[in-house]
Structure 1
Amino acid sequence: MNSPLASKPSITSGCDVEVVVRRPTPSNVRRYTLLLIFCITQFIYALTNSALFSAIPSLVRKFGFTQSQSVWIISAYQLTFASFLLMSGKISDIYNPKYTFITGKFIVGVISIGLGFVSDGILFLALRALSGIAASLTVPSALALLVGLFPEPRHQAVAIASFGAWGSIGIVLGLITGALFVEHAGWSWVFWFVPMVIIPTTFISAVLIPTPTKNVVRESGFTKFRSLDVTGISILTVAVILFIFSVTTGSTTSWGSAITLAPLVIAIAMITAFFFWEAFQPIECAAVPSSTWFIPNFSVLFGTALLPYFWWANIFTTYVSLWQDIYKWSPMSSAVHMLPIGITAFVFSFASRVKGLSSMSAKWPILCGALMMMLSLVLFAFADTPDKYWPLVFPGFILGSAGAMLANISANVISTHTASRYSELRPPPMAGTVGAIFNCGLQLGSAVGLAAVGSIQASVQVRNGGPSNYQGQSAGFWFMLSCISVAAMAVIVFYRTDTARNRVKGTVVCDEK
């Protein structure tokens, strides 16, 4: 549906940049075909990373990794993906989300081909890190494109919900896919499967994504480069890399070691330096404009972003390890028992009735999701034998996964939708940047949560008879419960529904002609 200002382009200026914003609205067939492509891309990324859990034993034997080194099979990708999200979001906003998305997706496909052929462990980890950088280009750009393709709030919410749902179901189906590949074809096919889907859909995307006139810009290449804020983004990127490296290393070695503490201290100092740097940058030239944190409820929504992957990643790793290493279940049996997580997340993302989200009332869905995750953790804490899967673990999977998806979709939809409207009144465009910050929060929740819960489980197990004693897993679940409780209290205290409504009331949508 066209906006009331469909014939009037929006013109903004700042940092020596003048931007004319005109977003042509494609046909419904084209829009929903692109939505399907974005969802498939998200699904393939999640499926590949999940499938690697089944392939880790084969990769350890192939490359001669130690137990501590094997952590980087997953973490090398996660580290670079999270670290470069902000830069990717800024590139998407300043240059062009279409070409950012296509470039990142194509590079992921090419690197995946190479990953299946490598015979050296260091080269393998390096390519995994590069694929994380390339994949980071696609997420904020896809969210920015979704905002443009579905400007109407209700349709936009459904599109973003679909984007997240396909990722969640890919996580669980990846276990089954990885087990099938490893048992019947070899670990290389975990990677070779990716370009078979990614590369063809990349070319389809290049044709179907509308060529934007968004940056019909009177600006020089230097002005664009200046707006990218390379200095600020570089400081934050290095800080995030060091922070994730520190918490990951601390969970596998010692939290008191120099290799853990030194990067952590440097990361905190660099994050502080980043905020000082940004405070003196013009709004159009800052990596994270100070106005970002004044977007209605954005700070509390960023805190909420830490929760969903915090829950999913820890439940996923805890039970896969427990079932295969202690209960001696097969990889396929473990994957099948995990299916309720993915199926529930996929179904519940559409059952969440996102109508309320477009009216800035996400507070109660977020709190409901947090409560469901907390209840599931109580069930898990008492599921200390295999026979308690059906009475405790199964309902916990359904409750917790539904709650994690509800919190994820609610926070994602409202932050992206509010940012797109807020930036229409206070340029520059921020949809890509906000999407990057939000997804960085998801990854940080996963990385930091895995490190903290893993350390708690290990320390309790050492004092109580080793991994076969369930007290370690139970302690990890109680710790997760306390973290989510604190986050829920923050939402109750700091989330302002009326403020959110008033601050976006009366905004106009740029030309949707």
Structure 2
Amino acid sequence: MRRSPWATLVVLALAQFAVVLDVTIVNVALPDIQRDLGFSAAGLQWVINSYTLLFGGFLLLGGRAADLLGRRRMFVAGLVLFGAASLVAGLSTTSGVLVATRAAQGLGGALMSPAALSILTVTFPQGRDRNIALGVWGGLAGLGGTLGVVAGGVLVDALSWRWVFFVNVPIVVALLAVVRVFVAESVAEPREADGQTGPAGQEAPDGRRAFDAAGAILGTAGLLAVVYGVVRAEPLGWGSWEVMGALTGGVALLAAFVVVEVRSVAPLVPPRLFRSRSLTTASLALALNGGAFLSMFFLTALFLQQVRGDSALAAGLHFLPMGVAAVVAAAVASQLVTRIGTRPVQLGGAALSVAGLVTLIQAGADGSYLTALLPGLVLFGFGIIGVGVPAQIAAVVDVEPRDAGAASGVVTTFYQIGGALGLAVVSTLANSRTGAALAGGASEQTALVDGFHRGLAVATGLAAAGVLAALASPRVAAAKARATEAAAAV
């Protein structure tokens, strides 16, 4: 049956929208969740961290499993797990059940997200159509993060915190009803490896289908340990034995993972992927992009509510122009890439991100939202997607269909790990600045503003490093995209 690739994109983009929405929608419900389920202040962080831990830890495994077991199959499995966990989370009556179901949501997202991106990659040939598809993907993801805060405020105020989880259920049911109609199944085709002793990443030397169990265990365990160390750094400090042990153990496991992957005939992450300069530099750019975005979002949300006195809903509405800018940027960026190539667009996006953060640093406790905050938010909204769209296009431009899932897992993992690590570093430095100001006799409001400015300055450093990553990236030429389109049309 012939399926419209644009209908496929709608299904995949809506699923990714739900995953990104879930990341931010829960934040505004945390005070009500704490009160109803009796969370301690330390325990409440695991409503967020359990999701982050499983999502970041299983992305590589989810991406490769999609290649080997079927991309639509893994997408549906992740969608079902995400929806079921959302329903149970909304029905939770104890803190332990909620944390466990949030972890299950994260695992569902880790199966679903790389599978969806790999389906998109193999559905659209390289060129203008893929650029547009990735632009829509990036724009909806950016809008989902912003709308999450608004939707969370509305649902909590009008109904209860349980509806921030229940809202996922009808979305999942609707997607499951249409996924088999609009999304085709695809599995990576075995192919002889260049200079290797057996088929790369797909079959064992005797021709049987193979799976890299050792790589899966080491890679997943290493990522879990690193993410755990990062999320525990905020409450415990980077020098604590728990944090240092988790990070050291995670790095050791990931080093062993690299050794295993180089020697394996069926690697979880084929080493040939990193021969692509486009994939390597794009992954770095996306990691820095994730760190800058999550840090800015976290700091500004607190600034709006704790310093300027916004309600959760008002804060969400104040973020909305940034989401609109992200959608516009996605459309513009996908068109510009086809005309001038990826590197100029990525470089421009990184520069706009820096400009947006520098503008936000000027904001204080007083002053109009229209003049003090709106320009910086809009600039940053343009910039963050201006980096994300060309980087995602460049990341997969040299990837063969058999490696689409693995490449998607790598790209998404870099973004998530970069985001988690960047947020942990930025929030720690911001909090230390606030604490030092309070100890020095500053008022609470002044101390919070100082912490906000320190954190944004560090986030600006991440965005500036993104400029360097853009300069180091190869330019995926517009001519190459047009040539691919012409070949496809013949």
TM (normalized to structure 1)?
0.86
The 8 Å contact of residues 102 and 206 in structure 1, kept in 2 or not, is answered as: no
Partner of 1:265: 248
Partner of 1:16: none
Partner of 2:467: 488
Change (3 A) 1:202 1:358: farther
Q: Separation in 2 of the partners of 1:337 and 1:505?
A: 40
The count of residues paired between Structure 1 and Structure 2 equals 475
Alignment pair present for 1:402 and 2:402: no
State the 1:210 CA deviation.
Answer: 2.5
Out of 13, 23, 41, the position equivalent to 1:49 is 23
State the 1:225 CA deviation.
Answer: 8.8
Change (3 A) 1:135 1:358: farther
**Structural mapping, 1:377-392, within 5 Å:** 377-392=357-372
Partner of 1:372: 352
Out of 422, 429, 442, the position equivalent to 1:449 is 422
Partner of 1:309: 290
State the 1:51 CA deviation.
Answer: 1.4
Alignment pair present for 1:459 and 2:432: yes
Q: Separation in 2 of the partners of 1:197 and 1:35?
A: 15
TM (normalized to structure 2)?
0.90
Q: Separation in 1 of the partners of 2:276 and 2:479?
A: 12
Partner of 1:35: 9
Question: Which stretch shows the higher mean deviation, 201-210 or 238-247?
Answer: 201-210
Partner of 1:210: 184
Out of 100, 122, 134, the position equivalent to 1:160 is 134
Question: Which stretch shows the higher mean deviation, 260-269 or 145-154?
Answer: 145-154
Structure 1 runs of 4+ with >3 Å offset: 211-227, 500-513
**Structural mapping, 1:415-434, within 5 Å:** 415-419=395-399, 423=400, 429-434=402-407
Alignment pair present for 1:278 and 2:251: no
Change (3 A) 1:491 1:460: same
Alignment pair present for 1:437 and 2:410: yes
> Secondary structure at the residue paired with 1:329?
coil
Question: Which stretch shows the higher mean deviation, 213-222 or 388-397?
Answer: 213-222
> Secondary structure at the residue paired with 1:293?
helix
Q: Separation in 2 of the partners of 1:80 and 1:224?
A: 33
Partner of 1:3: none
State the 1:246 CA deviation.
Answer: 0.9
The 8 Å contact of residues 299 and 456 in structure 2, kept in 1 or not, is answered as: no
Partner of 2:458: 479
> Secondary structure at the residue paired with 1:464?
helix
State the 1:350 CA deviation.
Answer: 0.1
> Secondary structure at the residue paired with 2:210?
helix
Partner of 1:347: 328
Q: Separation in 2 of the partners of 1:90 and 1:226?
A: 13
Give, as a single letter, the amino acid of the residue that structure 1 aligns with 2:370.
Answer: W
Change (3 A) 1:309 1:210: same
Change (3 A) 1:478 1:96: same
Give, as a single letter, the amino acid of the residue that structure 1 aligns with 2:270.
Answer: P
Q: Separation in 1 of the partners of 2:71 and 2:205?
A: 19
> Secondary structure at the residue paired with 1:134?
helix
Question: Which stretch shows the higher mean deviation, 80-89 or 381-390?
Answer: 381-390
Out of 254, 269, 279, the position equivalent to 2:237 is 254
Choose between structure 1 and 2 for higher RCO, CA contacts under 8 A separated by at least 6 residues.
1
Partner of 1:20: none
Q: Separation in 2 of the partners of 1:43 and 1:173?
A: 10
The 8 Å contact of residues 105 and 199 in structure 1, kept in 2 or not, is answered as: no
The 8 Å contact of residues 338 and 478 in structure 2, kept in 1 or not, is answered as: no
Partner of 2:77: 103
Q: Separation in 1 of the partners of 2:7 and 2:467?
A: 37
Change (3 A) 1:268 1:214: closer
Identity, % of aligned pairs?
Answer: 21
**Structural mapping, 1:284-295, within 5 Å:** 285-295=266-276
Change (3 A) 1:508 1:431: farther
Out of 270, 278, 283, the position equivalent to 1:297 is 278
State the 1:448 CA deviation.
Answer: 0.7
Change (3 A) 1:211 1:431: closer
Change (3 A) 1:438 1:152: closer
State the 1:236 CA deviation.
Answer: 1.4
Q: Compute the RMSD of aligned alpha carbons.
A: 2.9
The 8 Å contact of residues 70 and 187 in structure 2, kept in 1 or not, is answered as: no
Question: Which stretch shows the higher mean deviation, 126-135 or 350-359?
Answer: 350-359
Q: Separation in 1 of the partners of 2:220 and 2:484?
A: 33
The 8 Å contact of residues 89 and 433 in structure 1, kept in 2 or not, is answered as: yes
The 8 Å contact of residues 90 and 228 in structure 1, kept in 2 or not, is answered as: no
State the 1:244 CA deviation.
Answer: 1.3
Partner of 1:356: 337
